[in-house]
Structure 1
């Protein structure tokens, strides 16, 4: 990993440590009868979620009594990014999707000691995290009775699940994969090329597996990333300071759709962090989950890291 790439990871690690929160128990309180507020200010929301400690989930998530409706038959599993957890990464998407009628679940994976309630996740190898995700998907399928789930992930959570679907047992359990700021071609190399032979061993710590020549990326890219029967949606931002180039998340294969936030909203300056609370991105996520009922893409001024300018809350 070169110095510039390493510095980007250090910056992300610092952000995660500053704005992260403790993970929560698996069970959540039943959702309220009235719609949950949907916050849109990433830094504020992630910081406040840290105060919830280990007794909370992201709002709207992990109601294990939830049964999918005919309109939304696939429960949604939220997969956090590097050094994040199931609480701090999903303060926007938990309530947004619950309000939209989905059963929503989130896990913490890849903590250094394997604790599913760990403070910081996404550290261990992405192969091992794929196994954790597989077990969680099985729990969700058993609880809801749904044969398949939809995955929505961010950063590492928008990279590792692609390997899980292709090579980790997920191809018959996942109907849709939606990635926010994915890095399926690695970071720091030329996006969209098959890396050929590997210069890195398998099962490295997750940050090292983002190198384009790692064994993880080689396995993911070689022969194609997508598998038949799964709908893939990648949502990127030109102002991504971590996924460089941002087009490392692009997949030009059958069954894959690629979106760049700024193609829909020029005043949207969302970066790697604030894409998690970005209205344009979330409109695209909702459309990808329910393509038969498209909705207008919401466009507003969004600042890097901070998020929406103004009150920052809405449905």
Structure 2
């Protein structure tokens, strides 16, 4: 599948949403009989959005959630280009909620003045604007939960938005861990489709600004999860950046049958467990190795 086709698929998959009533989350793991279902594969998010336009993924955005002693930091999910708080997180949202995390997700960089589904496509604004939206959202989460810091889990553009917020908008003192799925710290040889975000949409310069300033904040722990079959972040090694407070994981290391691409990697069981381990390294887990196909998972 070509890059332009992948980008178009992502936009179509985004059938995205802006604001909606929050779903229920739990501060403690639910009993097995009450656990939220996890639809591994990116298509699950598309189904959620189609059935509940503008909604929130199951397990997210309960602002009455009280963080547990085991997981004191709420987790904020930061989506990628043309995705939103629902389509991007059909897998990781319930996985995290089932583990007892307070989970939150926003849609940023969308045109709320347009009718759905156009209004729902997020990640289409200049990076500083999106990062400011994330900053405001994190403040809301901290105020509602009483937590002192959050953990961020980002995908694609969401990794850069998280990094920009942490380095330039005062996020360093409010963020404990950042898990970046398919990040592009050194940019990509593949740009967004022509016209995405309008003529002033030039996030490449902001990626350079972040890189030049130093991607990592000293007080934050980072985990980068990348895939060799990423056709948007080219080369995939752009997402690998060494530091004493960073871990770099290639999903195919130890699992060659996982052929996750830029889209499928955010919705696979292997990525989900790797994310859980990054957020809570004290709990040893068996990392699954399943056959994963590009896009569809």
Indicate conservation of the 8 Å contact 1:126/1:205, yes or no. no
- What is aligned with 2:271? 281
Give 2:239's aligned residue: 249
Structure 1 residues 125, 167: CA separation in 2 closer, same or farther (over 3 Å shift)?
same
Which residue of 1 is the match for residue 83 of structure 2?
84
- Does structure 2 retain, via aligned residues, the 8 Å contact 1:179–1:233? yes
1:220-239 alignment, distance < 5 Å: 220-239=210-229
Matches of 1:224 and 1:274, distance apart in 2: 29
SS at 2:128 equivalent = helix
Task: Mark the runs of 5 or more structure 1 residues left unpaired by the alignment.
Answer: 1-6, 190-202, 308-315
Structure 1: which 4+ aligned runs deviate by more than 2 Å? 10-13, 29-33, 52-56, 112-115, 203-206
Q: Deviations over 1:266-292 (max 9, x none)?
A: 110110111111111111100010011
Supply the distance in 2 between the matched residues of 1:71 and 1:204 (Cα, whole angstroms).
46
Verify the 8 A CA contact 1:39 1:92 in the aligned structure 2: yes
Counterpart in the other structure of 1:28: 23
Alpha-carbon RMSD across the aligned residues, in angstroms, is 2.1
Q: Displacement, 1:78?
A: 0.3
| Alpha-carbon distance, 1:137 to partner | 0.1
Cα distance in 1 for partners of 2:242, 2:167 equals 16
State the TM-score, normalized to the length of structure 2: 0.88
Structure 1 CA distance for aligned equivalents of residues 227 and 199 of structure 2: 27
1:162 aligns with 2:156: no
- Counterpart CA distance in 2 for 1:254 and 1:11 is 38
Distance 2:130 2:21 in 1: 17
Q: Do 2:24 and 2:58's aligned partners in 1 also have CA atoms closer than 8 Å?
A: no
1:47 Cα deviation (Å)?
A: 2.9
Asked whether the equivalents of residues 81 and 155 of structure 1 are also in contact (C-alpha less than 8 Å), the reply is yes
Structure 2 vs 1, CA of residues 147 and 55 (structure 1 numbering), >3 Å: closer, same or farther?
same
Distance apart, 1:183 and its partner CA: 0.8
Unaligned residue ranges in structure 2 (runs of 5+): 191-197
CA 1:131/1:87 → structure 2, altered by over 3 Å: closer, same or farther? Answer: same
1:26–1:159 Cα change, 3 Å: farther
TM-score by length of 1: 0.83
Change (3 A) 1:229 1:64: same
Q: Distance in 2 between matches of 1:133 and 1:66?
A: 19
> Contact 1:83 / 1:121 at 8 angstroms: preserved in 2?
yes
